């Protein structure tokens, strides 16, 4: 079967393409990416040479209806997996329009083209941020109300609702996944873990928002990729599946762990003015996907975080091109 993976030069999308090509033969993947700031063609370097006709790249904006129509007319895709998104909260505060263009208009274009060209399945890859902020107790379930706090999370919530409406209105086999914070190789350096690791490697200040006590639920990107495959193959259309590893950490504790692994002093930490609308805590209940699809995370952060930091140590040439 052939898959259309949008945003496949980004962090999660590129890891997904590598995962599916390595573990599932003979799947074919078409990667569509506009190559904006976080879409890095070097994230998929070597795939064409290694996998030949099983992999192809198409440079395009998913909000361009003509190009998406042309692409879906060319191939009979089994599924669209939509990773394409502007995803950084700070950038969404400064420029909401870019997020609406890609995350809402782009999703709408893809859904419509997929429906018209007979695509069997559509996986809308979303985020736990659509639920807003949790108090000190409890977990987000698939029944938790949507309560986004930023233009980014609002745009993702909009795309989720639009996707589910396509299922109800047109019978399209749409499934929405909402995942907790990812970490792993090829993550754009503005995100928390690579930013802290790279700054520590360079002995530069580590900017921590507010008091650093915001809590996030972390999952390794390959565990996320495995969950998406499970949803793609066996998920129920019209459903939402939460994906998480039940690994909550305060931001400041995560930063301390990075410094400890690198042997760097804590006085590199620099507390900065908190982000506008900064959600206090996220935590995912992934009981549904575990029970229905027999998925579970395999990587514990105690081992996977040091391995991730070591990846950034070993791949300076990758991130030195992205950060001055």
Query: Which residues are identified as catalytic?
Result: 128-129, 152
Phi, psi of 76 (to 5 degrees): -95, 90
Sheet holding 173-179, edge to edge: 55-59, 28-33, 2-6, 79-82, 121-127, 173-179, 240-243
Cis omega (within 30 of 0) for bond into 24: no
Contact status, residue 250 vs residue 214, Cβ threshold 8 Å: yes
Contact status, residue 214 vs residue 254, Cβ threshold 8 Å: no
Contact status, residue 109 vs residue 34, Cβ threshold 8 Å: no
Phi, psi of 216 (to 5 degrees): -130, 150
What residues contact residue 130 under an 8 Å CB cut-off, 6+ apart?
146, 148, 153, 156, 157, 160, 178
Helices (H), the chain: 11-23, 47-51, 65-74, 89-94, 96-99, 107-116, 151-170, 192-201, 221-234, 251-262, 287-293, 301-314, 316-319
Q: CA 291, CA 251: separation in Å to the nearest integer?
A: 30
């Amino acid at each position: 079967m052939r898959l259309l993976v949008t945003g496949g030069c980004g962090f999660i999308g590129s890891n997904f393409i590598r995962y599916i090509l390595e573990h599932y033969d003979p799947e074919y993947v078409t990667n569509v990416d506009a190559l904006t700031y976080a879409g890095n063609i070097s994230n998929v370097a070597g795939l064409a040479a290694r996998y030949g006709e099983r992999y192809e790249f198409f440079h395009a904006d998913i909000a361009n209806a003509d190009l998406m129509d042309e692409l879906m007319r060319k191939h009979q895709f089994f599924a669209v997996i939509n990773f394409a998104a502007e995803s950084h909260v700070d950038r969404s505060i400064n420029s909401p329009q870019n997020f609406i263009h890609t995350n809402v208009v782009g999703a709408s274009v893809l859904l419509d083209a997929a429906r018209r060209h007979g695509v069997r399945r559509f996986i809308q890859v979303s985020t736990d941020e659509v639920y807003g902020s949790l108090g000190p107790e409890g977990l987000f379930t698939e029944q938790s109300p949507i309560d986004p706090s930023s233009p980014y999370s609002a745009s993702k919530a909009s795309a989720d609702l639009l996707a589910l409406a396509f299922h109800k209105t047109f019978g399209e086999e749409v499934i929405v996944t909402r995942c907790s914070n990812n970490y792993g190789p090829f993550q754009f350096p503005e995100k928390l873990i690579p930013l802290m690791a790279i700054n520590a490697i360079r002995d530069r200040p580590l900017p921590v928002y507010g008091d650093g006590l915001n809590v996030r639920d972390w999952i390794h990107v390959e565990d996320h990729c495995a969950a998406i495959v499970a949803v793609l193959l066996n998920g129920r259309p019209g459903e939402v599946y939460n994906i998480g590893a039940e690994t909550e950490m305060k931001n400041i504790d995560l930063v301390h762990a990075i410094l400890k692994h690198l042997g760097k002093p804590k006085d590199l930490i620099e507390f900065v003015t908190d982000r506008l609308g900064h959600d206090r805590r996220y935590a995912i209940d992934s009981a549904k996907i575990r029970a229905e699809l027999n998925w579970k995370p395999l990587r514990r952060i105690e081992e996977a975080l040091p391995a991730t930091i070591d990846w950034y140590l070993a791949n300076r040439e990758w991130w030195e091109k992205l950060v001055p």
